[in-house]
Chain A
Amino acid sequence: MYWNSWSEFIAMGGYGVYVWGSFIACSVAICMEGVLLAHARRQTMRQIARASMLANLARSQVAGLQVADQHKASQQEGAQ
């Protein structure tokens, strides 16, 4: 262990501003990269979810219409 006290460690022999400044800058950059990436991922997920929901909806509506048609057809048969 090179340092004797916390305050010495923080001061970095007078270079504290620059050393810790670059640590802060790098942390900010890493956080920004992560946040931007997470944002892009969320947005993509949302688009895919919306698209698949619409596709499901369309499919179920088509299915529903088919069921209704069959029902109607059988009713007409019964009436005849």
Chain B
Amino acid sequence: MTMDTPKNKVNWHLFHYAAPSTFYPLAGKAIPWLMTLAVVLAAIGLWIGMAVAPSDAQQGDGYRIIYLHVPSSWMAMFIYIVMAFWSVIHLVWKTRLSALMAQALAPTGAWMALMSLVTGALWGKPMWGTWWVWDARLTSMLLLFFLYLGFIALTRSIDDPDRSDQAGSLLAIVGVFNVPVIYFSVYWWNTLHQGASVSSKGSSMAGVMLAAMLLMSLAAWMYSIAMTLRRVRVLILQREASTRWVQELNIL
């Protein structure tokens, strides 16, 4: 019955960490490290960005919002791609954990998109004179925010776990192919109606500014991974509530 061929062994190792009962404690151990890393990176990045870096020639000190705006925008876009990646994995290999990863990523992505929108508005007010400009990047970020909300609403309103996982995966895949189309169309629409001049932010950035921005982006990355792992742990508990290993966790 138990033929231990080498192929079986490899499979076992690959899927070993995909078992929720193994992944749960592993993620629990990783979270404090990731959070510490995020805080340290953000502290260094903010020190360089807010205290060491000089002010911008054109935008004065208002440009310093970039250290929040750009990392959150990058994460908002990147998280959607990661979500689609886990969705493909889920649809191909039927691994439960990958669907939970996609569902755990979505709220963090939505928060990132929201932060990007709010900081974008706060940047736009002094630079463009209004809170909201129908700029290509802001508009496509708003649509991305709605895509996240749609994904969250769909997965939460389906009670059956299997259907919820697979429906969410399908939606994320449809979405990820549409995001470039949306971005392109909004960009095209924007240049047609306003001219691209408003969204150009000066291509040459001083090295210090770039370093601070990259550090902040890394911090946002670590934060997102940590929050996703925290959320996936809750989702695992909800899904596996009736299993023995959860009951034996001695939660209270």
Could you list which residues of chain A lie within 8 angstroms of chain B, going by C-beta atoms? 1-3, 9, 12-15, 18-19, 21-23, 25-26, 29-30, 32-34, 36-37, 40-41, 44-49, 51-52, 55
The number of A-B residue pairs with CB atoms under 8 Å apart is 98
20 further A-B contacts with Cβ under 8 Å, apart from A15-B60, A29-B118, A37-B231, are: A1-B51, A2-B52, A12-B62, A13-B61, A18-B125, A22-B122, A22-B123, A26-B118, A33-B111, A36-B107, A37-B230, A41-B237, A44-B234, A44-B237, A45-B251, A48-B247, A48-B249, A51-B242, A51-B247, A55-B247
Inter-chain contacts of B223 with A (CB < 8 A): 30
Smallest Cβ-Cβ distance to B241: which chain A residue: A48
Distance from B205 Cβ to chain A, minimum over Cβ atoms (Å):
16
The answer, yes or no, to whether B115 is at the interface (CB within 8 Å) is: yes
Inter-chain contacts of A14 with B (CB < 8 A): 60-61
7 closest Cβ contacts across the A-B interface? A15-B62, A13-B61, A22-B119, A49-B252, A12-B61, A22-B122, A25-B118
Query: Once bound together, how far apart are the Cα atoms of A2 and B68, in whole Å?
Result: 19
Distance from A16 Cβ to chain B, minimum over Cβ atoms (Å):
8
B55-A13 in contact (CB<8A): yes
Distance from A11 Cβ to chain B, minimum over Cβ atoms (Å):
8
Q: List 30 A-B contacts (CB under 8 A).
A: A1-B52, A3-B51, A9-B50, A9-B51, A14-B60, A15-B126, A18-B62, A18-B123, A19-B65, A22-B69, A22-B118, A25-B115, A26-B68, A26-B72, A29-B115, A30-B223, A34-B227, A37-B234, A40-B231, A41-B230, A41-B234, A41-B237, A44-B238, A45-B237, A48-B237, A48-B246, A48-B247, A49-B251, A51-B241, A51-B242
Q: A3-B51, A13-B60, A45-B237 are in contact. Are A18 and B251 (CB under 8 A)?
A: no
Query: Once bound together, how far apart are the Cα atoms of A40 and B154, in whole Å?
Result: 18
The answer, yes or no, to whether B53 is at the interface (CB within 8 Å) is: yes
Say which size band chain B's interface belongs to.
35 or more
Smallest Cβ-Cβ distance to B65: which chain A residue: A22
The answer, yes or no, to whether B64 is at the interface (CB within 8 Å) is: yes
